[in-house]
A and B are shown apart, each in its own frame.
Chain A
Amino acid sequence: KQEVTQIPAALSVPEGENLVLNCSFTDSAIYNLQWFRQDPGKGLTSLLLIQSSQREQTSGRLNASLDKSSGRSTLYIAASQPGDSATYLCAVNTGTASKLTFGTGTRLQVTL
């Protein structure tokens, strides 16, 4: 059974700092890995999707990497801003009916 872990559970950084969020999964047989952002009272916003054949994806200040063999992914946020404050969720798609298995998230706070 696939299990997804995100460390740390919470993180507070000053504005402007670069930061890394970690995601690990137990079964390397995945189709893709998706990073989401969740704001309080809102749904999930897809940030990046990395296919199993890819090593990384970039969107603006965000860069996500994938190391399938070691069961790890990282989300790198450059030059953090207060607007980046949210919970970040990692989810892996094992291809079994496209089910996403989620981690419990990292709650990020970027302070002024």
Chain B
Amino acid sequence: EAQVTQNPRYLITVTGKKLTVTCSQNMNHEYMSWYRQDPGLGLRQIYYSMNVEVTDKGDVPEGYKVSRKEKRNFPLILESPSPNQTSLYFCASSPWGMDGNQPQHFGDGTRLSIL
């Protein structure tokens, strides 16, 4: 089954304790992206990757890191989490193409609470 898998689904942690949210896709997609969803603000892009070893900032990259060492994986790293990073996080993937016909597939989300 084609899917985007995020782990963990839920996490409660404390300020400053480094954490990693993993994202894996089994569709051989080139493009992967991370979004956060906050009430009243909708989904906003954090980082994206157009292929292995190619990453770039989205709209709200502060406090986050990513890496793309393999095509299927795109982990989101919070080196020193703060309470304002409490949010619902989504990973997405799609084939890379600029022809306008590439729907993005989303994972089920990771709910992070930073105390």
Contacts and interface: CB of A to CB of B under 8 A. Distances in A.
Interface in A26-73: 31-32, 34, 36, 41-46, 49, 51-53
Interface residues on A, range: 20 to 34
Contacts of B56: 97
A99 B48 contact: yes
Contacts of A105: 42
30 contacts: A4-B42, A31-B98, A31-B100, A32-B102, A42-B109, A43-B90, A43-B107, A43-B109, A44-B90, A45-B106, A46-B104, A46-B105, A49-B101, A51-B99, A89-B43, A91-B43, A95-B98, A98-B48, A98-B94, A98-B104, A99-B45, A99-B58, A99-B59, A100-B35, A100-B43, A100-B92, A102-B42, A102-B43, A103-B42, A104-B41
Interface of B: 4, 31, 33, 35, 40-45, 48, 50, 56, 58-59, 90, 92, 94, 96, 98-109
